[in-house]
Amino acid sequence: MARQNIYDNEAFFEDFREKRTSEINFNDCIETPILFSMLPDLRGKDVLDIGCGMGQHTRKFAEMGAASVLGIDISEKMLAWAVEHNSAEAVTYRRMAMEDMDALEERFDVIISSLAFDYAEDFEGLLRSIHRLGREKAALVFSMSHPLATAWTGQYTRYTWSDARERLYANLSHYTVEGLRKVSWVVDGYECYHRMFSSLINALVQAGFVIEECRESTMSDEMRAKYPETFGGTLHRPDFIFFRCGWAG
């Protein structure tokens, strides 16, 4: 099974690190506030953070009162940053691919993932693994790139621009063609997986989850007006999709 580890590519890591630690970025301004607003009370809970990256969220979950937080990630560079900058007493970082989570002996009350499921070739299998890792009454809260964003094949520009450099439309093609997207994004050969909205829903239900909330990212007019180059596209389509799920039965 394919498991690209692009965050250990020097150029890709540096670009991501720079964006993720800058003041105005998609994670902090769009994704994180929505994800955190969907979390249950973490006090006293055992939490798993899948694709924890540089550990910003992982440490925050500990600060929110989690009894333990295990952050797993495939990237050595991301984890090295996490250990250096986002360590805390309740936090453990472990290098592990999400495809290998069946090997985990721990069980969790809350399983969280922020923008890592884009990289799962076998989304159904991933959800089955997650389902096994949850204790009774567990919660799964995750974000991923929105299907309207992952449809992009790299063969056309994402937006149609006016002469005055305003984004007029979000372009869309090949939405119904699911599977691998191999595109030039920061580096050549960046890989992620596209799934239609219905496939996400059906995979969750079939794996034994109850969908309690689904959200799509939006951005305020104020922020769009202040940072048109960065956030202008948020008018036309959501960048991220979010689910909060419980365990069925």
Ligand X SMILES: C[S@@+](CC[C@H](N)C(=O)[O-])C[C@H]1O[C@@H](n2cnc3c(N)ncnc32)[C@H](O)[C@@H]1O
Looking up tokens 């721990």, which residue turns up? 106
Q: Would you say 92 or 228 has its CB closer to ligand X? A: 92
- Determine if 64 is a binding residue for ligand X (CB under 6 A): no
- Determine if 91 is a binding residue for ligand X (CB under 6 A): no
List Cβ neighbours of 188 (8 Å cut-off, separation of 6 or more): none
- Determine if 62 is a binding residue for ligand X (CB under 6 A): no
- Determine if 123 is a binding residue for ligand X (CB under 6 A): no
Q: Would you say 116 or 130 has its CB closer to ligand X? A: 116
What value, to the nearest 5°, has the Cα angle with vertex 48 and ends 83 and 16? 50
- Determine if 98 is a binding residue for ligand X (CB under 6 A): yes
- Determine if 47 is a binding residue for ligand X (CB under 6 A): no
- Determine if 52 is a binding residue for ligand X (CB under 6 A): yes
Give the contact letters, 27-46, x = binds to ligand X (CB under 6 A), - = no. x-------------------
Q: CA quadruple 146, 71, 88, 64: dihedral positive or negative?
A: positive
List Cβ neighbours of 238 (8 Å cut-off, separation of 6 or more): 146, 148, 149, 216, 217, 218
Q: Would you say 97 or 205 has its CB closer to ligand X? A: 97
**Among 142, 62, 138, CA closest to 98:** 142
Nearest distance in Å: CB 68, ligand X: 18
Nearest distance in Å: CB 118, ligand X: 7
- Determine if 182 is a binding residue for ligand X (CB under 6 A): no
- Determine if 71 is a binding residue for ligand X (CB under 6 A): no
Give the separation between CA 184 and CA 191, rounded to whole angstroms: 9
List Cβ neighbours of 215 (8 Å cut-off, separation of 6 or more): 34, 38, 241, 242
Q: Is residue 193 within 8 Å of 121, Cβ to Cβ? A: yes
Give the separation between CA 50 and CA 97, rounded to whole angstroms: 9
Nearest distance in Å: CB 36, ligand X: 11
Q: How many residues bind ligand X (CB under 6 A)?
A: 21
- Determine if 99 is a binding residue for ligand X (CB under 6 A): yes
Q: Would you say 85 or 168 has its CB closer to ligand X? A: 85
Name the helix (H) or strand (E) containing 66. Answer: none
Instruction: Give the three-class secondary structure for 29.
Output: helix
What is the binding site for ligand X (CB under 6 A)?
3, 7, 20, 27, 51-54, 56-57, 73-75, 78, 97-99, 114-116, 119
